[in-house]
Amino acid sequence: MITSTLTAGQLWTLALLGFFHGIDPGMGWLFAVSYGLQERSRKSLLRVLPFVALGHEGAIAVMVVILTVSSSLLAAKVVVLAGGGLLMLYGLWLLLRRRHLKWVGMRLSSWQLAMWAFVMSSVHGAGLMLVAVFAWGPDEKVSALDLRNGVGQVLVNGAAAMAVHVGVMIVTTGLVALLVYEVLGLRILRSMWVNLDRVWAFALIGAGVATLISA
């Protein structure tokens, strides 16, 4: 049986990122709460969660595939350098852009919700952070997603990464949604909603720089 070669540090980082995406109102819990409030039912709130998870998972999966394919075609160093540069540029773009995602529509079917979460997570650059995580692999020369390690190994590593990240993300999303719905109320948005988009943009830039330095 093949086991994941991800280090504890990598898994913790993935979990931490999942937590961050979970508490970000733009990533799903706010949508869940709005469904709960609109229908006056906790069930409606909970119904949203699996589809938010699915969409988020999709955005990460796309990145895992891109990373896997590129690490099998290119030298590890090239992938890490390109990835680090991309992280930095995307973070800068997020920081400086004067536009935000335009999406219209509150009454979404389950699949539309998943699509919404996919779009939201992708634009956010959620999957991009994987570059940084995988760059700090166990072996400096071999990425955790390099096909030359064998397809099985890559699949296991990718699945483990997604399971940990999305697992923590959706549990956090659900807990925050329930806490706001049952106890706190949406008024806390006014005082507690720090501009996480900007925090995230700085995080991407920082991760990009760190990746480039470590390469």
Partner 1 sequence: MALWKPDPTFYPSPRDAVAAPPEKLAYVATFDRAAARPDAIAVVGTDPEDSRSYGQVVGFTELPETGDELHHFGWNMCSSALCPYAPHPHTERRYLVVPGLRSSRIYVIDVIDDPATPKVVKVLGPEELAKRAGYSRPHTVHCGPEGLYVSCLGGADGADGPGGVAILDHESFEVLGRWEVDRQDQYLAYDLWWHIAHDVAVTSEWGTPSMIEDGINPELLLGRKYGHQLHFWDLRRRRHTQTIDLGDQHQMALELRPAHDPTKKYGFAGVVVSVEDLSASIWLWHDDKDRFAVRKVITIPAEPAPAEKLPPLLKDFGAVPPLVTDIDLSVDDKWLYVSCWGTGALKRYDVSDPFNPAEAGEVRLGGIATETPHPAAPGEPLRGGPQMVEVSRDGERVYVTNSLYGSWDDQFYPAGVGAWMAKIDARTDGGVSLDPGFFPHGEEAFRGRRAHQVRLQGGDASSDSYCYP
Residues binding partner 1 (CB under 8 A): 25-26, 30-31, 33-34, 37-38, 40, 98-107, 116, 120, 186-187, 189-191, 193-195, 197-198
Find the shortest distance in angstroms from Cβ 132 to partner 1: 24
Locus of tokens 């913790």: 12
Find the shortest distance in angstroms from Cβ 125 to partner 1: 16
Our CA dihedral for 90, 91, 95, 99, rounded to 10 degrees, sits at 30
What is the C-alpha to C-alpha distance for residues 104 and 31, in angstroms, rounded to an integer?
A: 13
Find the shortest distance in angstroms from Cβ 108 to partner 1: 8
Find the shortest distance in angstroms from Cβ 7 to partner 1: 34
Question: What DSSP letter does each residue of 27-41 carry, written as one string?
Answer: GTHHHHHHHHHHHT-
Q: Which has the closest alpha carbon to 134: 201, 27, 203, 207?
A: 207
Find the shortest distance in angstroms from Cβ 127 to partner 1: 19
- Closest to partner 1 by CB, 4 or 34: 34
- Closest to partner 1 by CB, 2 or 188: 188
- Closest to partner 1 by CB, 41 or 214: 41
Q: Which has the closest alpha carbon to 55: 5, 123, 8?
A: 123
- Closest to partner 1 by CB, 140 or 182: 182
- Closest to partner 1 by CB, 86 or 95: 95
Q: Is 195 left (phi over 0), alpha (psi -120 to 50) or beta?
A: beta
